[in-house]
Amino acid sequence: MTAALLNSSISSLPLLARGKVRDNYAVGEDRILMIASDRLSAFDVVMGEPIPGKGELLTRMALFWFDKLQGIVPNHLTGELPESVVATEVEVAQVRGRSMLVKRLKPLPVEAVVRGYLAGSGWKEYQASGEVCGVKLPAGLNNASKLPAPIFTPATKAEMGDHDENISFERMVDIVGADLAERIRSVSIQLYQTAADFALTKGIIIADTKFEFGLDADGTLTLMDEVLTPDSSRFWPVEGWREGINPPSYDKQFVRDWLEQAQVDGRPWNKQAPAPALPAEVVEKTAAKYQEALTRLMGE
């Protein structure tokens, strides 16, 4: 395992954006070098401590899924080696194993969320209204209930530090148009169902996930960003699932639980930056959760 990477520093390429996890650099006019750092965000705040190996694990898992799902919709991968576009050995070391060289797309301003189980904000919304993002659901469902069929519940993308906002499909139609909205919904449910069926054979439930799409120069809908990682999905071990409880998960829930109890100056943390420093034990257990998900899914 290479040294943890909190922030990349690639001086041979222009930095486009530094997100919660990924650093994006321009490669000419038509490509982007996406580097997955070891940063971790919780409650939309980036932690000060990296999770060693996380960026490499996320990249390997995303590439695994892009390969498995490529027959459903085009994706943003160019097939070129990320190391080929940086200048020095120091830069190669930051890129190797944690990067994707991708097509530059026009990103669509909505997140395509698919839910196969009732959890998180969906469970809260269902308790209040019997619906999730305008989708009416049967009465009598519980926390972590499997839904009769996967549902599409889009969200708007928030600026850094803000929360994404769940929206109805009708609102999505207003934003991107009816034809594109229908295509995104259909493709997203197909991607989710294919992935969820496979993951189940490996003992993992994909409770929900989010996809991001863009349009290429010809207007072709293209799957982009990351896909089906513990950062963008809720993964549960099959043996830990039962209705009515929050199952253990392969993601940053361990960090969230610790932060909920954390004190800053004698008071509960207010979920604003800066975050309290994560103890070594929390960092190690979080890294182990990501590794366990990869091991189960890919048999590594």
Q: In the chain, where are the structural domains located?
A: 15-104, 107-240
- Work out the angle between the directed axes of helices 178-201 and 169-176 (0-180°, nearest 10): 120
pLDDT digits (tens, 9 = 90+) for 163-201: 678 899 999 999 999 999 999 999 999 999 999 999 999
pLDDT digits (tens, 9 = 90+) for 26-58: 999 999 999 999 999 988 899 999 999 999 999
The answer to whether 2 and 56 are in contact (CB under 8 A) is: yes
Tally of CB atoms within 10 A around 123: 19
Class of residue 31 by CB neighbours under 10 A (exposed 0-12, middle 13-18, buried 19+): middle
Does domain 107-240 bear CATH number 3.30.470.20? yes
Report percent pLDDT > 70 for the chain. Answer: 97
Return the amino acid letter for 280: A
The answer to whether 5 and 38 are in contact (CB under 8 A) is: yes
Question: Which CATH number among 3.30.230.10, 3.30.200.20, 3.30.70.20, 3.40.50.300 corresponds to the domain 15-104?
Answer: 3.30.200.20
For strands 110-117 and 204-215, give the pairing.
antiparallel
15-104 and 107-240: identical CATH topology: no
Q: For 101-105, 118-122, 140-144, 194-198, which range has the lowest pLDDT when averaged over its residues?
A: 118-122
